[in-house]
Amino acid sequence: MNAALIVITLFAASALGLGLLARRGKKLSLEQWAVGGRGFGSLLTFLLMAGEAFSTFTFLGASGWTYSKGIPAFYILSYGCLAYVIGYWMLPAIWRYAKERNLVSFADYFASRYDSRGVGVLVSVVAVLAMVSLLIIQLRGLGVIVSEMSYGSIPPAAAIWISAILMAVYMTVSGIHGSASIAVVKDVLILALAIFLGIYLPLHYYGGIGAMFARIDEVHPELLRMPEHGLNLSWYNSTILLTSLGYYLYPHGFTAVYVARDAKVLRRNVVMMPIYQVLIAFLFLVGYAAALTVHGLEGPQTDLALLRLVKQSFAPWFVGVVGGAGLLTALVPGSLIMLNASTTIARNVYREGFARHATEKQVARVARIALPLFTLVVVYFTLIGGATFVTLAIFASSLLTQLVPMLAASFLKRPFGTREAAFGGIGAGAIVLVLVNWRGVTLSSLFPHAPEAFTSINPGLVALLVNAAVFIAISAAQRSLRARMATPVQSS
């Protein structure tokens, strides 16, 4: 039994305690359970939205990418800021619409806007599959963090089982209130740790931030230059565009908007969110500090850069604190994903597909049964595999961004997009993604003589542009067709 293990266990136990206590004094209807009765003020809404945005990917990925790739990683700091500018207008519009129609799930929004069960089913299927892969990512990250930071005394599989059960228990009992109360602790802790590590580690190993970069410039100058090939400037710029447009299309982030008490809360939040991103800059500094001090990490292992450097630099109890913080970083988004998957299953699959006359109470019961079942299925795929299904789930998560044209068209004052166009656009985007992922088609194989600035564009953005073009073309064609059919009737 080492000190780190004790600290991590304490973190897990407190998370469970906090999550369960969050239930106190609340009668949980579906609306209360899933979106907190739409009564959350600025702080809690902020923490939930931040909880979604700053997951294990930020914790391990931001530092790991900097460690292995250098400059291109900085896109992670840019896209959020641009997304918040869009969000300033978009989020209040989504919130008002959701409030008027008592929407609870991600798919509800699209089904209602396009007045189509088909669209609802399409979005729910994509969303549930995508959430499987998103939860797998959180659980895998969590397994890595806990096993590394407990010096191997808790194997990843045990960590995944224990934390999945913890989440399922407190989420079934408390719903969104469980995530919210843990998010408070997690955010304070992760912010303090990132700032501390980002300042202390460069100071300790190099004598300062400036000195660190001077040293890296001598040994690994490529980490301080934008590459000319591969992840180059066009990749960087196109990835910022793609990720900022798709920022709000994660089901659990989208529904975090529903919990707000009023639209003002959301506008105030997007003003604060860019400042919170400073956290990512400190994680970049940790990644750079690891560049010359942590050796031998390659491929997917580079995600371990931060953890290895912490282990190398601090006493076990502090390693435990970082491990505990990493655990909470996975628990908050992980539990939000579970909650959203189960409300989607209950509202959009069970009620729309099988029981159209089910009462709110029955739907709520189904949601609370679906949550542990969904968790069990995801843990199974995380640990045992099922490669085809996992590939499908990852593919679904890349499809989420393909909902951008549908979402954008839903804000137009004069309705433009149609459900046929929605299907067509998403289909076209999906075909492009399939060609890229499984047929090895790239922009450079299609246009061998095009300049690299063009061929390095992120393929996800290409899929999105094809999708948008098809969406607009079909909608416009249907509109002119309808106008033509309507005219003779009027003239007669």
Partner 1 sequence: MKLRFFLAALPFVGMYSGGALAEHLPILFGMPFLLSWNLIWMAGTAAVLALILHLDTRAEAMNAESESGAQR
* Run of H or E residues at 183: helix 176-206
Tell me whether residue 281 or residue 431 sits nearer to partner 1 (CB atom). Answer: 281
Q: Which residue, chain included where needed, has tokens 């939040």?
A: 269
* Nearest distance from C-beta of residue 59 to partner 1, angstroms: 18
Tell me whether residue 84 or residue 106 sits nearer to partner 1 (CB atom). Answer: 84
Tell me whether residue 155 or residue 210 sits nearer to partner 1 (CB atom). Answer: 210
Give the interface with partner 1 as residue ranges (CB under 8 A).
70-71, 74, 77-78, 81-82, 84-85, 88, 209-210, 213, 224-226, 233, 236-237, 240, 267-268, 270-272, 274-275, 277-278, 281, 284
Tell me whether residue 104 or residue 266 sits nearer to partner 1 (CB atom). Answer: 266
- What span, in angstroms and rounded, lies between the C-alpha atoms of 345 and 367? 7
Buried b / exposed e along 438-459 (16+ C-beta atoms within 10 A): eeeeebeeeeeeeebeebbbbb
Tell me whether residue 12 or residue 283 sits nearer to partner 1 (CB atom). Answer: 283
* Nearest distance from C-beta of residue 224 to partner 1, angstroms: 5
Tell me whether residue 78 or residue 313 sits nearer to partner 1 (CB atom). Answer: 78
* Nearest distance from C-beta of residue 143 to partner 1, angstroms: 31
* Run of H or E residues at 48: helix 42-53
- What span, in angstroms and rounded, lies between the C-alpha atoms of 108 and 115? 10
Tell me whether residue 92 or residue 141 sits nearer to partner 1 (CB atom). Answer: 92
Q: Name every residue whose Cβ is closer than 8 Å to that of residue 429 and which is 6 or more positions away in sequence.
A: 399, 402, 463, 464, 466, 467, 470
Say if CB 404 and CB 158 are below 8 A apart: no
* Nearest distance from C-beta of residue 288 to partner 1, angstroms: 9
* Nearest distance from C-beta of residue 332 to partner 1, angstroms: 22
Taking alpha carbons only, the member of 316, 312, 304 closest to residue 5 is: 316
DSSP character at residue 62: H
Q: Identity (one letter) of the amino acid at 145?
A: I
Tell me whether residue 225 or residue 482 sits nearer to partner 1 (CB atom). Answer: 225
Buried b / exposed e along 284-303 (16+ C-beta atoms within 10 A): bbbbbbbbbbbeebeeeebb
Secondary-structure breakdown of the chain: helix, strand, coil percentages, each rounded to the nearest 5:
80, 0, 20
Structure tokens at 41: 């003020």
CA distances from 404 to 241, 427, 471 (A): 12, 13, 11
Tell me whether residue 275 or residue 412 sits nearer to partner 1 (CB atom). Answer: 275
Taking alpha carbons only, the member of 353, 423, 355, 357 closest to residue 114 is: 423
* Nearest distance from C-beta of residue 209 to partner 1, angstroms: 6
* Nearest distance from C-beta of residue 250 to partner 1, angstroms: 21
* Nearest distance from C-beta of residue 336 to partner 1, angstroms: 24
* Nearest distance from C-beta of residue 377 to partner 1, angstroms: 39
